[in-house]
Structure 1
């Protein structure tokens, strides 16, 4: 039997969370105490300001994160930022904010952490004796091209380091700011060192604005695919996540628009709602699309073995059952019709070279 749905009690008024993806700022799962707003008995009118984005700084001891997950095609990644201002309600990375003592809800999209010294630390790691280069993935947890990148430029600094070392990189983003770095990415792509995945969840601007409030509009992301493709950078369109009974009917249209803009490959992932994301998404859905709430959640549970989320390897990223199989068939047919492949050519690791630093003895031969 499905457990009773959890609804978070600390919902902020709509005027305070304008432009944000979630309504709650419930404490993370590692906190000893829960927060709940109560009436203090003072009947005073008080207009509180909208939530503003705060940015803290962190100096990392290392930036390359390793993983052994069989569900992803890389073993190392970098996160220039913690938290993400795009505010996507469905974001599977939200629970990671709990490790910082912050809420996976509104804290995740308003209390961000930038790592301005990450490029310097990355260079130190790449210079270590015995380092063996493999593709570094960036954007797999939080978006490297979220709005604060325009000012902070941490991602651009990382790309400059990777270009200097001849190191392969695979980027995932829904941020159109990636176009700014075409001057770095295009030469890297020409050497077989770079590719980009652009996430397009829907082509409907209203649905997008409700579901991912501070991300670029869908048409703007399609334009970014075109700009990158015209610059010779291999692009994969990522129709992810596909929300059943809300956006999954758009799969073919998304793939067609991306292929028309020059995308060479495609992928999709059904909606998955790990840990705190399930409750946050349910509450958002009840507020934004009340007429579809029950239908969407029933379909989500059909995809995940009767649960809001299936954490098992091999099925958590694909779903299971009739609807999962139907989505796979639709995806395969659309890709075949549009000439989209499931994978891009492998990136090169044999061009990796440690560049000399100022004062280093240069080799004669």
Structure 2
């Protein structure tokens, strides 16, 4: 099966105080049609920047190296009508905060039917009818009344469901979900993820799912990519990420999560502070926080190497495998 999404050597620099700073470094990953790929890591690791690069939503002044291809088309080569068609038909993004990405002075109906009217050429009556059906699919009853409401009249959970309905309205081939459940309570999180998983299966869409929650990634994603300081440090089947982590950073993330089945006086937190790509030291960026680091870890960046069905960027992976798991 050919890849729907392929990223090769993606490096992004952004101007910080007038100086270009690297925020993503040599990111490579792939995603097949119909699959879900998780992207996890601490704040500043480059997860959202990767998604924005795929959607061509990078800030002004961004310098880009490498390639992002969706269904064989080079995304950064698209211009004009081809770029508009790509954003309208091929890729759609679900943002972390739906209130920040809906117009507060426009009704929900305007937000939901715009893509149906503009991209699919539907009249207002038919667009409204389909919008009501979309709301029903995401678990929102009384759709006709909801279309007349404004964003401030809906709870965070309902508004995120509206965002999902708008995303699937045009049946994109790739969904970029940037922590879509972070601002929701646990019950609503489960409902929203269930809706998203069902719609993805029904329409055969692939999804890049960004999250801080390793347990959620394991439940939702076929494979998970772990990022640290703007680099991919591990990729592995989600089911094995907890039991057989390849990189010490992944093992530290697993160890730091709450576990109802394990008695502990406090969480085993990762020492030190998260590091951005442009603040990272020479060599392995995680070395200053790693309990397994050796002097050689500061001498050059390790390549991402294959280990069985997974990949790791740690030079001691073979030596430590099986010893870093919780």
The answer to whether TM tops 0.5 is: no
- Relative to its length, the structure with more strand (as a share) is 2
Relative contact order higher in (CA < 8 Å, ≥ 6 apart): 2
